[in-house]
Chains A and B, each alone.
Chain A
Amino acid sequence: MIDDIFVYDCAIHVYDMSDANINGADGAAGRDAMSAVGQRVRIPEAEEGVDQFDKRWSVEAMYDLVFARSPTDMAMAQAVPIFDWYEDGFAPVAAQHAMAEAYPGRVQFCGGVDPNYHGLDGALEEIERQITELGAVSMKFYNGHLRDSWRCDDEAIAYPMYQRILDLGVDVIQFHKGIPFGNQPLAPLSPLDMERAAIDFPDMRFVMHHMALPYFEEAISIAGRHPNVYLALSGTINLVVFAPKLVQTHLGRMLGDVGVHKLLWGSEAALAGSPAPFLKAFMELEIDEDLRVGYGMPQITREDKERILGLNFAELMGIDVPAKRRELAAAA
């Protein structure tokens, strides 16, 4: 809790950047590219005692970073099915599941598959295994790769996966959009291919991560017009410390044109470091007068922050927040 506000972090990754997980001739370069993204947004003062970030994270170290060092109440451990440079994926399924198993009251497990890496039949089997055997409550997709990218509105590849997920009782799926790593081409990470999918699967809720930067205008338009598309501020909100005016501009647009009920807090820990300094900066954030007067952007309120930091994602995931607060207070 920060200032008595419930915090549900929609995106943490128990990732594996160890040498043992590096894959192929370009693996080390790919790891360096991903590492550089994290380095750009971390706050060294908040990482005291963390020896390195390019490693295989343990569930205990993740707990320390996300819950002990930061006022986070719940988090979703998300698999990241990037196999471009990683043998077992950047954030392996088993590691996310282990995190949820270790801290069941605080962490939910989000699975992940890739239809080109696993093959469609393999992806469907994995979806079934991850939901029915491992208890995944959501699924994460990463459709843009060095090669073999796929479209999120591909009726032959993507739609069977969405249908299988719905059939298994899960109705929240998540997509990394924008922010390519290394030499991954940008175009497949455009959010435009989520629109047709959101229309064709009205019972599914689609979470678009990273505000799809640099496709911000596209993200705003899609999330503003389609009731089942949500925007996760994951990682990009870390810029609040370094470029507050940019974050104010993003938030002002989203509050005005998308609606606060569609916005989700995500830290991208561990890659982006401890969530603590960013939570503090977000609580202090206001929309400056020049943006309010010149662009008509609304002021952000405490109620907005409550929704963004936890209530929205809790609603999506069916979490009873008052009950969860009581449960966590009793456990403490």
Chain B
Amino acid sequence: MTVIDRRSHVDVAALDQRIEHVNRLMRSHAGAVEVVSVSGDGVLTVRFVAMCQGCPFRPVTLYSLVLPALEAVAGVTEVRAQGVRVSREAAERARAAMSPGSW
């Protein structure tokens, strides 16, 4: 069940639209993300479902697609993904690799 704290300034309609867009891409791998919660201070928590559950490439999908798409939604201050956890070092490396102009 999705829990959205109404005190947040997250644009829920924009968030829904962005999730739909992300999932359209992820559907090619029979996977998806869904929103778990939005906290009052704008922390968005999502979880990977379907074929993404247990897939070893979740971190790649998270840093290349999910984070850039969802962090851009107005009012979102942070994105957390249940079921994906990497070290701080790996997260920094992934963000650097995925940033514009890094290639």
Q: How far is the CA of A299 from the CA of B85 in the complex (A)?
A: 9
Q: Determine chain B's interface SS by DSSP, over half rule.
A: loop
A224 B87 Cβ-Cβ under 8 A: no
Query: Interface residues of B, CB < 8 Å — how many?
Result: 13
A257 B87 Cβ-Cβ under 8 A: no
Which residues 268-326 in A have Cβ within 8 Å of B in the complex?
287, 289, 291-293, 296-299
A293 B87 Cβ-Cβ under 8 A: yes
Q: Looking at chain A, what size class is its interface with the partner chain?
A: 20 to 34
Q: Is B40 an interface residue (CB 8 A)?
A: no
Complex interface: chain B residues within 8 A of A105 (CB): none
Q: Is B54 an interface residue (CB 8 A)?
A: yes
A298 B83 Cβ-Cβ under 8 A: no
A225 B86 Cβ-Cβ under 8 A: no
A293 B54 Cβ-Cβ under 8 A: no
Contact partner, B86, options A224, A227, A259, A298, Cβ 8 Å: A298
A225 B54 Cβ-Cβ under 8 A: yes
With a 10 A CB-CB cut-off, give which of B53, B82, B83, B87 has the most chain A CB atoms. Answer: B87
CB A249 to nearest CB in B, in angstroms, measures 13
A221 B86 Cβ-Cβ under 8 A: no
A292 B54 Cβ-Cβ under 8 A: no
Q: How far is the CA of A225 from the CA of B79 in the complex (A)?
A: 22
Q: How far is the CA of A259 from the CA of B56 in the complex (A)?
A: 13
Which residues 33-88 in B have Cβ within 8 Å of A in the complex?
53-54, 56, 59, 82-88
Q: How far is the CA of A221 from the CA of B89 in the complex (A)?
A: 24
CB A298 to nearest CB in B, in angstroms, measures 5
CB A260 to nearest CB in B, in angstroms, measures 8
Q: Which residue of A lies closest to B94 (CB)?
A: A296
Q: Mark A209-247, 1 if CB is under 8 A from B, else 0.
A: 000000000001101111100000000000000000000
B54 A224 Cβ-Cβ under 8 A: yes
Contact partner, A296, options B53, B54, B83, B90, Cβ 8 Å: B90
Complex interface: chain B residues within 8 A of A221 (CB): 54
Q: Is A28 an interface residue (CB 8 A)?
A: no
Complex interface: chain B residues within 8 A of A296 (CB): 59, 86-87, 89-90
Q: How far is the CA of A298 from the CA of B90 in the complex (A)?
A: 9
Contact partner, A292, options B53, B56, B83, B89, Cβ 8 Å: B89
A298 B54 Cβ-Cβ under 8 A: no
Complex interface: chain A residues within 8 A of B83 (CB): 224, 259
Complex interface: chain B residues within 8 A of A223 (CB): 54
Residues of chain B whose beta carbon lies under 8 Å from any beta carbon of chain A: 53-54, 56, 59, 82-90
